[in-house]
Structure 1
Amino acid sequence: MTGPGVNGPVVVGLDGSPASVTAAWWAARTAVDRGLPLLLLHSWTTRPLGAPIAQEALSKQRYGGEVLERMEAELLHRHDDLKVTTELVSVPASKALVDLGDRAAMLVLGSREHGSIASFFLGSVNLYVLGLARCPVVAVRPEATDDDAERYEIVVGVQEAGAASDPLLEFGFTAAEAQGARVRAVRALPLSSLVTHPRGTHRDDGYEVDEQARLAAAVAPWRERFPTVAVTYQVARGTAAQVLLTASAHSALTVVGRRRHPAPLSWKLGPVAHAALHHVPCPVAVVPHD
């Protein structure tokens, strides 16, 4: 991968909650697959939902140090060849993670349970990081398990060729190569095309073929760069969110994009990223692009 954090660490925000623990498991496996170091970050000023205000005789700093120590020991027990460092900070987790995004290969966050009412609200820390980090950010649900490693497909949403899709394809192909997975490149065709290219007509057949060719052309440079990665293409009518959700039902990772924004107050996630984060059962990578 290119960019400022290409050889940087995989950084995971850890607050002691089940969601962040699962995120740390996923981040550690990813770091090992890619030969990257892992950085566990805890902000003692940011507390998990439902945690007691006081930890009996322990200070917040002591609690944070123990969270990091326990997680480091568990991950090293799981992965002998993992390189782990920890960082206990006093600034808010959102700021610390965004700052680390300038040199990280990716940031990994714990998300909320799939399908729960609370899952609609991703949390202020996660939304801030997802919207502003300069590197890819992966949201991992707490119900994710090691069984996800048996899913051999990385889904990448590709609506445009060039600057808008290349960072997503680069991230997807890099992940696929590391995991021995294949890439499924997905493009949604607008429902309005049913008017100009109705189903079952010769014009529709030509339109589908043309769109498949456009998708293949966008992916071609990355197939050449990653010759060992198998690729499948999926072109379907519907909204981009609907098509992506259908394609991601059995994927190991889904990759979506968001535009970079010049100022902290101007950022926002698009509807496709929101839909994926709310509803896709596997980890979701949000990759910034120009």
Structure 2
Amino acid sequence: MTMSRVLTGIDGSPQSAAAARWAAGEAVRRGTGLLILHAWPWLGTEFAEGTPAGDLRPAALRALADTAEEIRRAHPGLSVETMVVGEDPADALLAAAEKQDLLVLGSRGLGGFAGLLVGSVGLAVAARVSVPLVLVRADGTDGTDRTDGTDGHQDGSPGGREVVVGVDGHHASGAVLDFAFAEAARRGARLRAVHGWDLMPVWTATGWVPAQVDITAQEAAEQAVLAEALADARAAHPDVEVIAETRLGGSARAVVAASAGADLVVVGRHDRHHPLGMRLGPVAHAVIHHSAAPVAVVPHP
């Protein structure tokens, strides 16, 4: 039986190389192997006897070999395999991910402010992949270097390490929480469970306005909802320190605000079909573009 591995895709860019290094660190934490995939749509027999002008394939293949060798030197005990596929990159990654534990892809920072710029391949994969996907930045604009999988913390103490998970308190997903708790446990990190809520608008003679509610009472009610949502996962992971946090202002804003300084941010993606195909929900879409930390998107029913 083939061992499941951490899968990453490389295209010759610094972003994909950074993702591969992060994936290697994650594979070490999980005690599994690493598979590095390069997909090129035109790897057919028509190019068997020569390389057309402007073909970027040779450089990408060299980057694949160089990255694999770099990771083998950094992690001598890690099983590293490479694979080249003549398919559309998104289709190849989706097919390969079905047999693996985790997929890791690279994204670049949004210049002047913390965040991810996720390309068409990353978005297509994030909306359809059947296993958890982590999107990793190649830069260090949030003040830590996470590209080697160590997440910028060397002392191993939970005081400086944190995994953030966005929790829909009223429809919490066990799969998302289990993934987040397990990642926190692997890192010896605390888990910050964030539940964002907002005031429901009501229609008045002057238009839609926020409902007039007792904010203190509503905050207490939201905290109770979050505590109930976390109860089973906390019982299953008693050694993980948990900070349960509610924030007024909406789910996406709450998770993005909590992402600063985190090792990893975890959000869910409903695994359901839309008339226009599989799609990311608004919270996951906002978080993967604006998080200051790597983002794990976990599919769930």
TM-score, with normalisation over the residues of structure 2? 0.81
Unaligned runs of 5+ in 2: 44-49, 154-159, 202-209
Matched, 1:227 2:238: yes
- 1:261 CA displacement: 2.7
Moved more, 34-43 or 271-280: 271-280
Deviation at 1:198? 2.9
Please give the alpha-carbon distance, in whole angstroms, between the structure 1 residues aligned to 2:28 and 2:276: 36
Aligned length: 272
SS of residue in 2 equivalent to 1:10: strand
Which of 121, 140, 149 is residue 152 of structure 2 equivalent to?
Answer: 149
Asked if structure 2 preserves the Cα contact closer than 8 Å seen for 1:27 and 1:108, the reply is yes
2:34 to 38, 43, 49: 38
Q: 2:254 corresponds to which residue?
A: 243
TM-score after normalising by structure 1: 0.84
Is the contact between residue 110 and residue 116 of structure 2 (CA under 8 Å) also seen in structure 1?
no
- Aligned counterpart, 2:46: none
Output the aligned Cα RMSD.
2.8
The change in CA–CA distance for 1:262 and 1:75 in structure 2 (over 3 A counts) is same
Query: In 2 relative to 1, CA 39–170 (structure 1 residues): closer, same or farther, beyond 3 Å?
Result: same
In 2, Cα distance between the equivalents of 1:124 and 1:261? 20
Q: How does 1:24-35 map onto structure 2 within 5 Å? A: 24-35=20-31
Find the residue that maps to 2:121 and give its secondary structure: helix
Aligned counterpart, 1:255: 266
Within 5 Å, which residues of 2 pair with 1:82-231? 82-115=78-111, 122-144=118-140, 145-146=145-146, 148-150=151-153, 151-160=160-169, 164-192=172-200, 195-199=211-215, 204=216, 206-231=217-242
Q: Is the 8 A contact 1:114 1:141 kept in 2?
A: no
Shift of 1:29: 0.5
Secondary structure (helix, strand or coil) at the match of 1:149 reads coil
> Which amino acid is the alignment partner of residue 237 of structure 1?
L
Structure 1 residue 271 and structure 2 residue 282: aligned? yes
Q: Tell which structure's C-alpha radius of gyration is larger.
A: 2
Amino acid at match of 1:154: V
Deviations 1:32-78 (A, max 9, x none): 0111211000013389xxxxxx9799976654442222111101111
Which one has the bigger strand percentage? 2
What letter is aligned with 2:199?
L
Q: Secondary structure at the match of 1:113?
A: strand
Structure 1 counterpart of 2:252, one-letter code: A
1:79 and 2:75 aligned: yes
Native 8 Å contact 1:245 1:279 kept in 2:
yes
